[in-house]
Amino acid sequence: MLAIEGVSRRFSGKSAVSDVNLDIAAGSFVGVIGRSGAGKSTLLRMLNRLVDPSEGRIGFDGLDVTALRGQALRDWRARCAMIFQQFNLIGRLDVLTNVMMGRLNKISTTNALLQRWSREDRAMALSALEQFDIANLAAQRADSLSGGQQQRVAIARALMQEPSIILADEPIASLDPRNTKVVMDALLRINRHFGITVICNLHSLDLARSYCDRLVGMSAGRIVFDATPEALTASAARELYGLEAGEVMDAEIAPPAAASSGTGWVRPARTAA
């Protein structure tokens, strides 16, 4: 389990994330939602320590993630793979090599520098590409692929890290609707098939409701909603997004399921300083 305890982050004295407390069970698919600037990316980046918290502690199955340094931190980053909106592939390299880059943390420095890959790494990379129906693209330059194909390559690379958690920061923000579905299906598949926890920042509430089993809503750096997708009613979404609500959801937001537990609204542990 991932335990986020009293985590805050300030940039030049200004709060981006404030006193976030969350327990995330292994194998869940969590959607982080909220207006632009709510602190979603900063929260995700703190989980794999691309950004260090100003306060608080992040734990994972007894490991104090916030205290990790050096190789232990690199190992954590490998276990906590990140997928970005802009894919972050090396465009001039072929797809297979990009995917094998996910093994960098597992091979010797010499082999990494010379990009010497074992037969097993190649087979694993091809198998990862096959999972997402893009093995036929293995020899192509990454920058010749469509956005949806590139994001599937990035997910295959993340799988090569054999992660416990995948953090996806607006993974479909630059994709058309068809590729959006392909990429979200790929994330759902690795969540269900391998039991990898997925924590995904999403702009679209409809996607968040369709794919996630838990939604965490942020506003001004704080968690203000934490419940099942069914609990996110139209009025709850309006409260979370204000005037932007129309942009992020369809007209038809289903009423809360009868079995839904509570309204999902979270009372902040502390009021803003």
Ligand X SMILES: Nc1ncnc2c1ncn2[C@@H]1O[C@H](COP(=O)(O)OP(=O)(O)OP(=O)(O)O)[C@@H](O)[C@H]1O
- Between residues 38 and 96, which has the closer beta carbon with respect to ligand X? 38
Query: Exposed (0-12), middle (13-18) or buried (19+): which is 65, by Cβ within 10 Å?
Result: buried
Least distance from ligand X to the Cβ atom of residue 216, Å: 12
Query: Exposed (0-12), middle (13-18) or buried (19+): which is 116, by Cβ within 10 Å?
Result: exposed
Cα angle 84-87-91, degrees, rounded to a multiple of 5: 150
Q: Which residues pair with 29 in a beta bridge?
A: 198
H-helix or E-strand spanning residue 169? strand 165-169
- Between residues 42 and 191, which has the closer beta carbon with respect to ligand X? 42
Least distance from ligand X to the Cβ atom of residue 44, Å: 8
Residue 238 tokens read as 């309006």
- Between residues 34 and 56, which has the closer beta carbon with respect to ligand X? 34
Least distance from ligand X to the Cβ atom of residue 171, Å: 12
Report helix, strand and coil shares of the chain as percent, to nearest 5: 40, 25, 35
- Between residues 159 and 207, which has the closer beta carbon with respect to ligand X? 207
Least distance from ligand X to the Cβ atom of residue 41, Å: 3
- Collect all residues with Cβ–Cβ distance below 8 Å to 167 and sequence separation of at least 6: 44, 47, 48, 80, 81, 82, 83, 199, 200
Q: Which amino acid makes up residue 49?
A: R
Query: Which residues sit at the interface with ligand X, rule CB under 6 A?
Result: 11, 16, 34, 36-42
**Can you list the alpha helix ranges (DSSP code H) found in 17-103?**
40-47, 70-79, 95-100
Least distance from ligand X to the Cβ atom of residue 17, Å: 7
- Between residues 16 and 99, which has the closer beta carbon with respect to ligand X? 16
- Between residues 145 and 248, which has the closer beta carbon with respect to ligand X? 248
Least distance from ligand X to the Cβ atom of residue 47, Å: 12
